[in-house]
Amino acid sequence: MVLIVAAVLLPNAVFFVAMALGIGTPVRAVAILAYLVVGLLARHVRPWLVVALYAGVFAYDVASTTALLFGLSFVEMFTVLKFALEVRLFASPLYLGAGFGLVVSAVLALRLLIGKRTLVRKAGVFPALVAGLVVMGLDVAVNSIANYQFGTAFAQGKPFASALKSSGLSQRLDRQTVPRNVLVVMVESLGVFKNPDHRALLEQPFTTPEVAERYDVRWGDTVYYGSTTAAEMRELCASRRTYQSLLSGPKTDCLPKKMADLGYQTLAVHGFSSRMFERQNWYPELGFQSMLFAEDLAPLGWPRCGAVFLGMCDTDVLRYLGTILKTARKPTFLYMLSLNTHIPVAPKPQRGPLDCRGGGRFGDKEVCNMAGMWAELFAAVAALALSPQNAPLDILIVGDHAPPLWSRQQRGLFKPGRVPWLLLSAKAIRADQTP
């Protein structure tokens, strides 16, 4: 029994608790089997090697599970570690509890494998193998749902798609005869709600007569693969290359560069640190002439939003973009990457556009809080679109990836593998409206 406890039950204890609480993870069959193999090897190898092997499996388990959950490749997950100081991981009770549980279960498992070595050697191998197979089967049965289907190569062999193309904005820009300002807003963790009523809540700001008078409005959705940086490459460069490849490989003819070549001023804005994912290094490679990050916006004295990802409030950033557009003396291409709906979200006081008591219309408080933040962001975009300007403005809103929520029920509210887009196309341009 001691072998079953040390090699099967303890290494997966946190995930048993997660299953009981309705929290799902990507399938961990490889890690479950690897823990069992370490337990069997502990019968024959030196204690220091047991510790080394267990630590290796533990690192793989945590890294691969987290990577797949957040749409990163296994290699990217280790690249992300150097940005760990940019986030406040333990501001989340869930992350804090999971981390504590994983460490405690690992220590207890190693104490049994090493401290009870004689009992481990005497333990039957067959019962441990059966227990391991049962746990693997349970893991596959519980977590093999559409919302948790991940491929290590993600988009390999799949046809390319993007909101920029499917919305028609790229074609519109290619054939424009009079320059127009362009704003692309990439919204963190914006997935496609399955329920049409939930989608309608977010679309309300763009269904008014005022918007219809000035804009043609289109909605749709597109496929996504990978994390936020993959989404940025998807929409801004029509590419599935990694952002790292821009710094060391051949250049890509990205949209910001094309706009700059047409005489536009190009600006990227993100309310978090420029060091996160090295954006200060590769954004210029996309063609952005100017960039504003949290450290650049801090002197403005705005309040901060968020918990784990503490940065500028998205609505403040959008209002600031409106000021930039009003004072621009030449056609402008603006790109904004939002921040505040990064998982886990920091709930706001009950003063937003949605009542989230008891989960609100979504039946889940966290999803409702996220939807409330999206609704605020969309309302701010609509206000910017309707504000007096010297030039027409085309606006594309698109999600980077579906929300990497832990709960199976929460993930079930969204369409797997899809992100929404919304295009506001300015209507007929008069000569006196030219930037």
Q: Which domains are assigned to the chain? A: 2-148 (no CATH), 163-433 (3.40.720.10)
Report the pLDDT averaged over residues 276-283: 92
CA distance 288 to 232: 13
Report the pLDDT averaged over residues 185-205: 94
110, amino acid identity: L
**Alpha helices per DSSP H over 123-275:** 125-143, 163-166, 169-174, 196-203, 209-214, 228-237, 243-248, 255-261
- The band of 431, judged by pLDDT with boundaries at 50, 70 and 90, is very low
Average pLDDT, the chain: 87
Report the pLDDT averaged over residues 159-183: 87
Report the pLDDT averaged over residues 158-181: 86
Whether the ω angle into residue 344 lies within 30 degrees of 0, i.e. cis, is yes
- The band of 260, judged by pLDDT with boundaries at 50, 70 and 90, is very high
Lowest mean pLDDT among 170-174, 297-301, 308-312, 428-432: 428-432
Using left for φ > 0, alpha for ψ between -120 and 50, and beta otherwise, residue 22 falls in: left
SS3 (DSSP) at 228: helix
- The band of 432, judged by pLDDT with boundaries at 50, 70 and 90, is very low
CA distance 345 to 364: 13
Better-predicted residue by pLDDT, 254 or 147? 254
Better-predicted residue by pLDDT, 242 or 318? 318
Q: What is the pLDDT of residue 174?
A: 81
Q: What is the pLDDT of residue 117?
A: 83
Assess whether pLDDT exceeds 80 at residue 309: yes
CA distance 19 to 156: 30
Report the pLDDT averaged over residues 211-222: 93
Which residue's entry shows tokens 């341009």?
429
- The band of 143, judged by pLDDT with boundaries at 50, 70 and 90, is confident
CA distance 58 to 349: 38
Query: Rounded to two decimals, what is the model's pTM?
Result: 0.86
Assess whether pLDDT exceeds 50 at residue 430: no
Report the pLDDT averaged over residues 360-375: 91
Assess whether pLDDT exceeds 50 at residue 269: yes
Residue 293: C-alpha distances to residues 82, 86, 237, 284, 361 (Å): 19, 13, 21, 13, 34
Q: What is the pLDDT of residue 125?
A: 87
- The band of 1, judged by pLDDT with boundaries at 50, 70 and 90, is confident
Q: What is the pLDDT of residue 24?
A: 80
Assess whether pLDDT exceeds 50 at residue 434: no
Residue 185: C-alpha distances to residues 67, 109, 182, 270, 272 (Å): 25, 47, 10, 10, 15
